[in-house]
Chains A and B, each alone.
Chain A
């Protein structure tokens, strides 16, 4: 499984990358905002996207919308990992088609649970 991790903070990308490796996902790539991530997704045969919301350039919610609007990427599972915790934002992300929403700070257990749930649904 090939996973793209998108966050403007490299420390957070490393944290997520290490946690994913711990869960058995070794094939990960990184991008620091939506503008960098989108072409990578379009050209890179990724299976899963983990993205932050608050990023300069293209935000995570715009990346999610762009992914859903792209015929080839529309069905890719997307997990949002973000410090944004307003109800309106969570509802907006759900409407835009997010598959899981984790608020920072989070635990390794939460990440595992959300991934399990997403893969259970996606099959």
Chain B
């Protein structure tokens, strides 16, 4: 069969008739017309349909099997979820540390304040010479014990303030974890764009977007280790850092 056959007047009429019958949902006539097309040995149209079907099949297979997409779905999304949980737990911890410190520091401030008011009242009476010798001795003892108490209270308040200060490290630690999640979202975005391109261009670029390597380079910065997600060979705390460094002569 030559390509001219497909362009013949008869083929055009048959094709138009086929479309009309399909639109009218006239199954019998549609089959008759289709049979005539096939009987005429004019199977170029069917070949084209077959080719398109194969392309679609290949594209769909590519979509399903693309390793990057399946990696993202199976592993990275789950990682991202764990990282976000870790962020929640770090912020929760920081908020609680801060609130605990405030709850402990506020009563100390109140105690300090009320003792000060007592001392102030006595001091004013003393200045007005409205205090006898016995009362003054009592005031003096009160002042002495209050000064000692205050010293302890102020040190304790300072400690609570320091706890609040250090609890703010959550912003740095969660920020680093969130940066990694943002990277993941960017990967998802570019992967999806890649998928659309693959489907749209009959998988011309199949194989180009290979699975990205998941192994971490040994010393590249990777942020805080998220429990249950990152399985790097890390130290468990400052003591191990110190041991490691001292084993190297530090």
Interface, chain A (partner B; CB < 8 A): 7, 9, 11-12, 14-15, 18-19, 22, 53-55, 59, 61, 83-92, 94, 101-108, 110
Contact = CB atoms under 8 A, between A and B. Distances in A.
B235 A85 contact: yes
Given A22-B162, A108-B166, A9 B175 contact: yes
A104 B238 CA distance: 9
B219 to A, nearest CB: 5
Q: For this complex, into which size category does the number of interface residues on chain B fall? A: 20 to 34
A103 B176 CA distance: 14
A110 B169 CA distance: 15
16 contacts: A11-B169, A11-B172, A12-B169, A15-B166, A19-B165, A54-B222, A54-B223, A61-B221, A84-B223, A85-B225, A86-B232, A90-B235, A91-B248, A103-B241, A104-B172, A104-B224
A92 B219 contact: yes
Interface of B: 162, 165-166, 168-169, 171-173, 175-176, 218-219, 221-225, 232-235, 237-238, 241, 244-245, 248, 250
Contacts of A84: 221-223
B173 A15 contact: no
Nearest to B250: A94
